[in-house]
Amino acid sequence: MSAPCAPPTLVAGMELVGEFEGSGYREPPQLVCRPDGQIVRLPPLLYRVVRALAGPLPPGPEPAMARIAADLSEETGRCFTEEHIVFLIDKKLAPLGITTYSDGSPPPPTTKNDPFLAFRFRLAVLPEHVTWFLSGLFAWLFRPAVVALGLAAFVAGEAWLWTTQDTGAALRDVLTSPAAVLLVVLLAIASCAFHELGHGAACRYGGVRPGAMGCGIYLVWPAFYTDITNSYRLGRAGRIRADLGGVYFNAVFVLGLGALYAATGFQPLLVAILSVHLEMVQQLLPTLRFDGYYIVADLIGIPDLFKYIAPILRRVFLRRPQDDRLRALKRWPQVVVAVWVLFLVPVLSLQLGLVLMNLPELLAADWRTITSLMAHAGASGASGALGSSVDQVLAMVAACLQAVLLVLPLAGLALVVGRPVRALVRLAWRRPGRGTAGGRA
């Protein structure tokens, strides 16, 4: 083996976090944080190499490799040589962007993970330091006494709402008023933003720094998001608090709306409360990457459940032996993941099938609704008898906003379907006989 030109080092800004607490793995992984903020899980062996590189090393490449090999042999009781350390660094750590190569050359550029059904089409709006400041204003809401009081008030408010109020009449009244519809939509958007602030405040209460906040399209829905990758630094209870922080803030938002409605009797506030309830139910669904999914993942200590779909299906339906991914899990997380997969696959298949079957009718209905909204708004603007100029402007804004909300899911669906279609087109274009010779290894 030729001597390397320079000793390997950790990439500047790399942080050693430590053991992933509350893990569902038989051998808990160790965490490191890359300079781009990405948390990487490492098996204990690789983490020992990283930890050795993080400490002081003697000058020159050979002493460094020799020391790491000797330390690793002493810790594990197995025999490691310099060649083993070179292999671990060049084939495992450097490609992850954690260390330089064994000859001191820089690692390749790194990219963030792109997991299945992740939130891809997004735009950061509030930078990390603004999220940190705003989260600090509301972190006190997670004090145990405040949480208990808030949940008790929410339960009492729910009992009052569903036993004494006529929500159907309120909904019918609001739908006849463009201004009321616009107000309800704005309050729903405000609730979504406050939801995301709840995740950030939970992180800050737990002692970790939340990332940027922004918005985008998740699959077919317009959505807000908060980067809470740092919640992996917390134990299981802290991670679940961060997962539930958004729904908890929705409940706080409902309390505020309920208090205003009790004081004023203003019907749009009651309809806004109903819209927030729908948001809470959606967020608690465990099928897609909503809060319910992350709650299940953090309860069992398995960060990415979707990567176990294929191993579980092969194991259950094809009776194949467990692969390494399943064998790495503890017994009860395996059972929970299997139940989740067997529930998820038929549900998603049914939903996708219904959407594709009804897509032509959905497009036609959306087009009719949009043209009707625009025609009604235009008629309102042309006739002074229909209201003041302010009412006319509100009618036009409400119509445009409803049209956007109708179009966004279709745009999201086009993006979702477009990715596999483009992949199939590229695959067909690169079939044998096309492209350059020798392109297949």
Q: What is the pLDDT of residues 233-278, one digit of tens each?
A: 999 999 999 999 999 999 999 999 999 999 999 999 999 999 999 9
The 10 Å Cβ neighbour count of residue 372 is 11
Flag whether pLDDT at 430 surpasses 60. Answer: no
pLDDT band per the 50, 70, 90 thresholds, residue 395: low
Edge to edge, the sheet with strand 213-218 lists 121-126, 213-218, 221-226
| d(C-alpha 20, C-alpha 229), whole Å | 13
- 3-state DSSP assignment of residue 123: strand
Out of 11-15, 254-258, 357-361, least confident range: 357-361
Which of 16, 26, 39, 80 is closest to 304 using CA atoms?
39
| d(C-alpha 379, C-alpha 74), whole Å | 83
CB 244 within 8 A of CB 237: no
pLDDT band per the 50, 70, 90 thresholds, residue 373: low
DSSP structural state of residue 10: B
In 328-402, the DSSP E strands lie at none
| d(C-alpha 228, C-alpha 247), whole Å | 15
Q: pLDDT tens digit string along 113-146?
A: 667 777 777 888 999 999 999 999 999 999 999 9
Number of residues written out for the chain: 441
Which of 162, 178, 183, 30 is closest to 96 using CA atoms?
30
| d(C-alpha 252, C-alpha 137), whole Å | 14
What tokens does 283 get? 């967020």
- 3-state DSSP assignment of residue 289: coil
User: How do beta strands 30-33 and 15-19 pair?
Assistant: antiparallel
pLDDT band per the 50, 70, 90 thresholds, residue 322: confident
Which of 3, 19, 392, 13 is closest to 232 using CA atoms?
19
Q: What are phi and psi of 216, to 5 degrees?
A: 175, -155
CB 252 within 8 A of CB 150: yes
Flag whether pLDDT at 57 surpasses 70. Answer: no
pLDDT band per the 50, 70, 90 thresholds, residue 37: confident
In angstroms, what CA-CA distances link 242 with 34, 117, 438? 21, 21, 50
Q: Which residues pair with 30 in a beta bridge?
A: 19, 42
Which of 137, 187, 155 is closest to 255 using CA atoms?
155
Per-residue model confidence (pLDDT) at position 360: 73
CA dihedral angle for residue 220, residue 295, residue 277, residue 269, rounded to 10 degrees: -100
- 3-state DSSP assignment of residue 33: strand
Flag whether pLDDT at 192 surpasses 90. Answer: yes
| d(C-alpha 334, C-alpha 29), whole Å | 17
